[in-house]
Amino acid sequence: MSLADILIILINGTIIFSTPLILTALGGVFSERSGVVNIGLEGLMVIGAFAAAVVTIFAGEQWGLAPGLAPWLGILAAMVAGVLFAIPHAVASVDLKADQVVSGVALNFFAAGFALFMVKKLFEGAGQTTTVQHTFNKVNVGFLADIPVIGPLLEGLFNIYPVSYLAFVLVGVAYYVLYKTPFGLRLRAVGEHPRAADTLGVNVRRMRYTAVMISGGLAGIGGGALSIAISSSFTHATVSGHGFMALAAMIFGKWHPLGAMGAALFFGLATALASLSQTIGLANYFPSELLNALPYLLTILALAGVVGRAESPHALGKPYEKGSR
């Protein structure tokens, strides 16, 4: 295999592995920018992964939906499920003035229990869904492949699932919404100084509810991308820590959509490198078990060395009480 081939596979793998992380980290940005800690991203991903796999399987194989549409219905279901499951977290964090970390932990436990409970119910006691048959087809660059020289290169690089394109588009959308619209300004304001925002007539409660639900929707899609496009089924191990990785990507990216995307791509690269290690002979020099630990080690080093102190939104984790100082 030539170096160019390896590079293409590596970049391609990076994009695929980082897709769920990008989407979920974006969700984290929305929630935490509004001042609500969302450690429940892991659970929201679990719910999304479960809903996407189940709906895609049933839509494609039993309801007779066109094979091309089934995964999209799955992703839609993942988003809706994510939004719905984020609501209890919003209720606890905004109205009940609960400890948001604890509420997030509860959400993670609930999602893990509920999803597997339903899988056992739907698949005759099995601990996992059947394989997703009608998954996404990889979308290529189309006519651009006809361009001489760089055409084949592009074709190799962008042989990816449509959800990956969706993830990148949503990064742009999130950036625009958060930084270029009044809604985004208000959302960030309630996360920095809710009392000031309240004084100026921003409905803190409604903003935070909206932000947490958006975060649920995005994490749901992230989980859906994981179960449909990457692992092709849902088991108890499908998500296993991706939500926490997304949380790390969000902090690593300093609570900014572009930063979060960059961090997620970095994690994706490390994962792609580990999975490529056999092919490119890296495993001969470095034990594969330790390569699996590489993304995590790099994250710690990056957080410790390069990034420095990350400034979180000022009112993060603090419930807002009207009229309090």
Q: How many CB atoms lie within 10 A of CB 3?
A: 8
Select from 61, 99, 155, 192 the one that contacts other proteins (CB under 8 A): 99
Number of residues that bind other proteins (CB under 8 A): 50
Select from 62, 308, 323, 325 the one that contacts other proteins (CB under 8 A): 308
d(CA 278, CA 147): 33
At 16, list the tokens: 């695929």
Cα Rg of the chain (Å, integer): 20
Q: How many CB atoms lie within 10 A of CB 47?
A: 30
d(CA 124, CA 120): 6
Select from 54, 86, 251, 270 the one that contacts other proteins (CB under 8 A): 251
176 near other proteins, judged by CB under 8 A: no
Cβ proximity to other proteins: between 58 and 114 the closer is: 114
Select from 150, 181, 293, 321 the one that contacts other proteins (CB under 8 A): 293
Q: Are 58 and 133 in contact (CB under 8 A)?
A: no
Element (H, E) at 276: helix 257-276
d(CA 111, CA 204): 27
Select from 41, 90, 247, 272 the one that contacts other proteins (CB under 8 A): 247
Least distance to other proteins from the beta carbon of 91, Å? 8
110 near other proteins, judged by CB under 8 A: yes
Note the residues at the interface with other proteins (CB under 8 A): 39, 88, 91-92, 96-103, 105-110, 112-114, 116-117, 120-121, 125, 237, 240-241, 244-245, 247-248, 251-252, 287, 289-290, 292-293, 295-297, 299-300, 303-304, 308-310
